[in-house]
Amino acid sequence: QAFPSPNPSITTMAALHPRSVLLLLPLLLSLRHASAALPQRILRRLPPSRPCGAHAIASKKRAVLGGLMSSAVFASVLGPRAAHAAKRRDPVNRPDLLPKSGEMTRLIDVTGMLSKSQEKLVNEMLVTLEKDTGLKLRVLCQTYPETPGLAIQDYWNVDADTVVLVADPELTGNLLNFNVGDNIDLKVPRNFWGRVSGKFGAKVFWEKEGPDSAVVNAISSIDSCVRASEMGVRGACAPGTIKARDSAEDSRFGMLLR
């Protein structure tokens, strides 16, 4: 039985010297087996395939949302939305920790992180922001396991136009954790949320200024970024625009005192 040769010169040499076939046969067989095994060897060395493009983004967001709902926290959105992963926790589903009033509130403060005056003004900001821009910003202040957990998904109807800010000092080392809906990427740069979290959620900030100040400043920065983006202001959400509010200069936050 003749075997195809990967090298034409070997075939020519075998034809000119028939006795050399016996000498070349082991070489031809080894070449044939090596060429057949080569693709499998290469495939074994390749890393596992990963989703790319839009599929990768969708997969990551599903993982983030799943992590929140099963752990009662959102994975932090830092850098490329993954600098700090939330620790795995047992699922929590406590609708009894949801507000008792019949009307839906955009702010849920389970642990009393904000003062009453802060809660009132933050709620007003969230309502106005949603009315003016369509962005649904929701804020949950908690300390795990004291959290509504799974119950907030239906309560807030979390969808592609929703940003949920979870403020919890115990879970990831960063106070501020975001889950960002798919449609928000069209309005706000993806790395904006990481910069806000890195600025105001860092322990060095909120331990000095207070977690309430971190939450208020984060909401203020989001408000400014989204409104400026709606107006087409270039660089509206750039790093230099994320600054701590001075209550003496900003009347909207002048009353936000502990």
Whole-number pLDDT of residue 194:
93
Reported confidence tier of residue 242, pLDDT bands at 50, 70, 90: confident
pTM above 0.95, yes or no: no
**Where do the DSSP E strands lie in the chain?**
107-109, 136-141, 162-167, 176-180
**Mean pLDDT of the region 129-147:** 94
Q: Please answer whether residues 85 and 76 qualify as being in contact, where contact means their C-beta atoms are separated by less than 8 angstroms.
A: yes
Indicate whether 218 pLDDT > 60: yes
Instruction: At 180, list the tokens.
Output: 């960002």
What are the pLDDT digits (tens) for 57-90? 443 443 334 444 444 444 333 333 333 445 567 8
Q: Please answer whether residues 214 and 257 qualify as being in contact, where contact means their C-beta atoms are separated by less than 8 angstroms.
A: no
Whole-number pLDDT of residue 102:
79
Reported confidence tier of residue 32, pLDDT bands at 50, 70, 90: low
How would you class 30 by CB atoms within 10 Å of its CB: exposed for 0-12, middle for 13-18, buried for 19 or more? exposed
Position with higher pLDDT, 37 vs 104: 104
CA atoms within 13 A on the CB side of 146: 13
Q: Please answer whether residues 220 and 212 qualify as being in contact, where contact means their C-beta atoms are separated by less than 8 angstroms.
A: no
What are the pLDDT digits (tens) for 171-188? 788 999 999 999 998 889
